[in-house]
Structure 1
Amino acid sequence: MSKLLNSLNTSKFNLPNRLVMPPMATSKAGVTGELTEDIIKYYDEKSKGGYIGLIIIEHSYVSKEGKANHNQLSISRDNDVEALKALAKTIQNNGSKAVMQINHAGGSTKEEVTGSLPEAPSAIENPYTKIVTKELSKEDIKKVIKDFAEAARRVKEAGFDAVEIHSAHGYLLNQFYSPIFNKRTDEYGGDILNRIRIHLEVIKAVKKAVGDDFPILLRLGALDYEEGGATLEDAKIAAKEFEKAGVDILDISGGYNRFMVPGFTEQGYFYPVTAELKKVVKIPIILTGGVVDANAAEQLLADEKADLIGVGRAILKDSDWAKKAIESLK
């Protein structure tokens, strides 16, 4: 029996199979972050037939200060909700579960996008933009937490099946997690428990906003693959804390090096990490990274490297990839 075709049932989630379309930015939103017909068409095409169990929408910004780039989707205003209902419904009517990913870009954005100096855990030169960022005060941190909670509430109101908190790819929450970006000396910096303090506060605020029955995913840039960066030990401690805090599914990707692992070419780039994290948590784990064929996905599940497999670029290039993959395994 195919592992990829197995359903996944948790107390809050029933997925028809183990295939996930991970979030990939389309840059198809309007200039003020509004939903466009192009985005609906794109997700309609990708979700046709319900072959993908779980579709996670591209990262959407929780506040103007957290906007990553022009034409990024917004979840920052109450008036975003009505339009987004059509997007959730389109995916669900095709037979897939729909999740919205919420994000704050932190120091990885630019003033020309947000209208203000990029804010980050510490006032350092951001390695991507080469801009010296503004250090968030404790009051600023409270606002960030509130912005995530409000965004999660809107995701639920728009009718999505779950919300995903983004802490990967060198964006704000991932910057707190990573010692490369986080040089703070207060309770939000230092050891791993301090560096994930903001995550635990965000999770708590999100849970309060959406209620206990609404599933919460968290995407973690687990390792930086860079000297002085986040380590596997950090990831294990963080994963256990996130599970305790009420995260329902962990979605593993990279940190400083984003969605790549330097020098790693096997399918499922992050499987050495997900395999280790599966030993310390009971919640399902999503593995992504370079998976391009169904047999590789099948093998990763059979070898217990993860519980769900994310296929991004292959589905991006070929909207029928999932259909062909699922049918080849039947």
Structure 2
Amino acid sequence: MAMLSSSLVLGSIQLKNRIVMPPMATSKAEEGKITADLIQYYKEKSADEAIGLIIAEHSYVSMEGKASANQVSLAVDADMEGLKALTNAIHAHHTPVFAQINHAGSAAKAEITGFPPLAPSAVKHPRAKAEELPQAMNTEDLEKVISDFALAAGRAKEAGFDGVEIHSAHGYLLNQFYSPITNQRTDQYGGSLANRIRLHIQIIERIRQTVGGDYPLTLRLGVYDGLENGSTMDEAVQACVMFEKAGLDFIDLSGGLNGYLRPGHSEQGYFQDFSEAVKQQVKMPVLLTGGITEAQAAEALLQAQKADLIGIGRAILKDSKWAEKALNTIK
């Protein structure tokens, strides 16, 4: 049997294959609420029942962490009805779905959130066009963020999501703490790698207290900033080892401050050197995304021990039957 079509256990659930539809923002929510249009989108993507796991688009954990106007909310209990309708629609097609929870940090805009942007340090975001600096987070801000992530994870579980992914990639708040470019703190949350991922560990631990030990939990780590003085491969490996000890069931690797792309790379699976290095040092499964569009390329990455799961984003966005066709191709 091809590895792509083989099953895999993630915490308390078993995936039917190794194909993952990673989070992709649709901008179909309205004032944070799930819409009929959004439910229809996920119905279509899950309809052929060939995707092993869907990780839904990033949802904000608090209003001050909202990244865009039409983003999904997991920030208040009133969101629950729409979220349950969404998970029910996907589960009708026998496909598990995770929620991805996020805080935008300095990538947030005051005109959308109504709050001044918060960040690890008062440092301009590398992709920001405005010159206004974010506010450096204080102890109270940090405690609220830990609580907000845990409460959002609890809502996700109650709404029927099969697991939760913590977003620490693509230049959002936790990625800002991870990267030495945006984290210039001199307290226990800055400096060494252990300090820069202290907030991640505290969030993982608080979520575990909220959802229990058996509920699947993952984290998407932005392993490559593509900028001078950014985070390193060695740090990515060390961080993933520490995340595993803290209670993750698998790790999802992607880009950092510069987003999901890797400048200068167009090969399928363009973070594979990072995923291979991480996979050699952790026991938990590793999810690789990045420009993978062909079933043969996905299978080759698995066979070469570059990863355990393959994220197929843009190809599934373009073709909702991609997974079904891929599994038939590599039989």
After TM superposition, the score normalised by the length of structure 2 is 0.98
Secondary structure at the counterpart of residue 78 of structure 2: helix
* Residue matched to 2:206: 205
* Separation of aligned partners in 2, 1:235 and 1:322: 29
> Could you list the runs of 5+ residues in structure 1 that have no partner in the other structure?
none
Matched, 1:291 2:292: yes
Q: CA deviation at 1:13?
A: 2.0
Answer with 131-140 or 185-194: which moved more. Answer: 131-140
Does the Cα contact within 8 Å between 2:57 and 2:99 map onto a contact in 1? yes
Letter in 2 for 1:293: E
Does the Cα contact within 8 Å between 2:33 and 2:73 map onto a contact in 1? yes
The 5 A counterparts of 1:1-330 are: 1-30=1-30, 32-129=31-128, 130=130, 131-330=132-331
Letter in 2 for 1:83: G
Q: CA deviation at 1:305?
A: 0.3
Q: CA deviation at 1:322?
A: 1.2
* Separation of aligned partners in 2, 1:260 and 1:247: 25
* Separation of aligned partners in 1, 2:10 and 2:256: 28
* Separation of aligned partners in 1, 2:290 and 2:8: 21
* Separation of aligned partners in 1, 2:81 and 2:158: 9
Per-residue CA deviations over 1:134-188 (Å, capped at 9, x if unaligned) read 1100111000000000000000000110000000001000000000100000000
Secondary structure at the counterpart of residue 20 of structure 2: strand
Q: CA deviation at 1:90?
A: 1.2
Secondary structure at the counterpart of residue 49 of structure 1: coil
* Separation of aligned partners in 2, 1:280 and 1:266: 24
Q: CA deviation at 1:49?
A: 2.1
* Separation of aligned partners in 2, 1:9 and 1:170: 30
* Separation of aligned partners in 2, 1:124 and 1:278: 33
Letter in 1 for 2:37: D
Letter in 2 for 1:272: D
Q: CA deviation at 1:96?
A: 1.2
* Separation of aligned partners in 1, 2:163 and 2:84: 13
* Separation of aligned partners in 1, 2:127 and 2:307: 30
Moved over 6 A (4+): none
Does the Cα contact within 8 Å between 1:85 and 1:159 map onto a contact in 2? yes
Does the Cα contact within 8 Å between 2:269 and 2:291 map onto a contact in 1? yes
Letter in 1 for 2:49: G
After TM superposition, the score normalised by the length of structure 1 is 0.98
Q: CA deviation at 1:10?
A: 4.2
Secondary structure at the counterpart of residue 235 of structure 2: helix
Secondary structure at the counterpart of residue 102 of structure 1: strand
Letter in 1 for 2:2: S
* Separation of aligned partners in 1, 2:20 and 2:124: 35
* Separation of aligned partners in 1, 2:265 and 2:168: 22
Q: CA deviation at 1:256?
A: 1.5
Does the Cα contact within 8 Å between 2:10 and 2:216 map onto a contact in 1? no
Letter in 1 for 2:196: R
Does the Cα contact within 8 Å between 1:51 and 1:95 map onto a contact in 2? no
Aligned residues: 329
* Separation of aligned partners in 2, 1:40 and 1:83: 9
Paired-residue identity, %: 55
* Separation of aligned partners in 2, 1:250 and 1:92: 23
* Separation of aligned partners in 2, 1:209 and 1:309: 29
Does the Cα contact within 8 Å between 2:48 and 2:321 map onto a contact in 1? no
Does the Cα contact within 8 Å between 1:253 and 1:288 map onto a contact in 2? yes
Does the Cα contact within 8 Å between 2:298 and 2:310 map onto a contact in 1? yes
Secondary structure at the counterpart of residue 195 of structure 2: helix
Does the Cα contact within 8 Å between 2:24 and 2:58 map onto a contact in 1? yes
